[in-house]
């Protein structure tokens, strides 16, 4: 799995923190890691973007960012409004392939959800993943409403000949409500893909050393970690089993 594409079911679901956890866990397993941010929006030129945040939390990873636009909008819209060239899916795929030639693992982080548009032609992260024949990790929220968006994302991936590698809950609450607890069983069912991890809420605020030490315990063996989905369900939601 030299390239892993990471998408969210929407915005603000914990995608960057999950990317950092995957990177930190791979580093701990002795793998070299590169992180590619396809398009960064809503960040000034002098501000650190998502790739830099991944490096801050995870440790020594190679970072790359293809384009940056100042307004917090979909990349195609942000590029148009800024009067700048958009990012095209084939450029994302080419950049990822070059990084894969020099690293054990390349993480390609999208912007928002799977079908957020990169360019006026409607190119998306899904198109880049298809060009790379890369698995796609889906980051989903824990609570009410997540089943619909997660299932839609998984269906769209399969319609394009792609398989979701699995689901990671981007922010597991300290006091999960009934919907979140039930979703531990329902998310893998609706997605037809395994639950591969759960990142505790607030993890992005941890000191980097604490983040790196904890990250392998948030992710399943399929992502180089030690997290056990069944044990997590039994502990967090016994009444929902």
Instruction: Kindly name the residue from 6, 33, 37, 78 that is annotated as catalytic.
Output: 37
Tell me how far apart the alpha carbons of residues 234 and 80 are, in angstroms, rounded to a whole number: 49
Does residue 15 carry a catalytic annotation? no
Tell me how far apart the alpha carbons of residues 34 and 3 are, in angstroms, rounded to a whole number: 9
> Among 98, 161, 181, 171, which Cα is nearest to 139's?
171
CA distance from start to end of the chain: 32
Q: HSE-up of 132 (CA within 13 Å, CB side)? A: 31
Q: What are the C-alpha distances in Å from 179 to residues 12, 88, 239, 240?
A: 19, 38, 12, 9
Q: In 27-74, where do the E strands start and end?
A: 33-37, 40-41, 62-65, 68-69
User: Annotated catalytic sites, by residue?
Assistant: 37
């Amino acid at each position: 799995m030299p390239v892993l594409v990471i998408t969210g079911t929407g915005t603000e679901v914990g995608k960057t923190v999950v990317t950092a956890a995957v990177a930190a866990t791979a580093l701990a397993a002795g793998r070299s890691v590169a992180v590619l941010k396809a398009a960064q929006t809503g960040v000034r030129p002098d501000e650190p973007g998502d790739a830099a945040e991944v490096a801050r939390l995870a440790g020594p990873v190679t970072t790359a960012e293809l384009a940056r636009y100042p307004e917090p909008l979909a990349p195609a819209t942000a590029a148009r409004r800024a009067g700048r060239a958009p990012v095209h899916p084939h450029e994302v795929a080419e950049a990822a392939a070059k990084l894969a030639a020099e690293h054990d693992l390349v993480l390609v982080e999208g912007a928002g959800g799977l079908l957020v548009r990169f360019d006026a032609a409607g190119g998306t992260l899904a198109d880049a993943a298809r060009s790379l024949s890369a698995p796609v990790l889906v980051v989903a929220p824990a609570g009410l409403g997540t089943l619909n968006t997660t299932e839609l994302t998984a269906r769209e991936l399969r319609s394009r000949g792609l398989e979701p590698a699995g689901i990671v809950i981007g922010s597991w609450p300290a006091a999960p409500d009934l919907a979140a607890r039930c979703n531990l069983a329902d998310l893998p069912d609706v997605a037809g893909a395994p639950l591969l991890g759960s990142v505790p809420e607030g993890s992005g605020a941890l000191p980097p050393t604490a983040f790196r030490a904890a990250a392998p315990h948030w992710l399943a063996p399929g992502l180089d970690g030690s997290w056990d989905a069944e044990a997590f369900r039994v502990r967090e939601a016994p009444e929902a089993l």
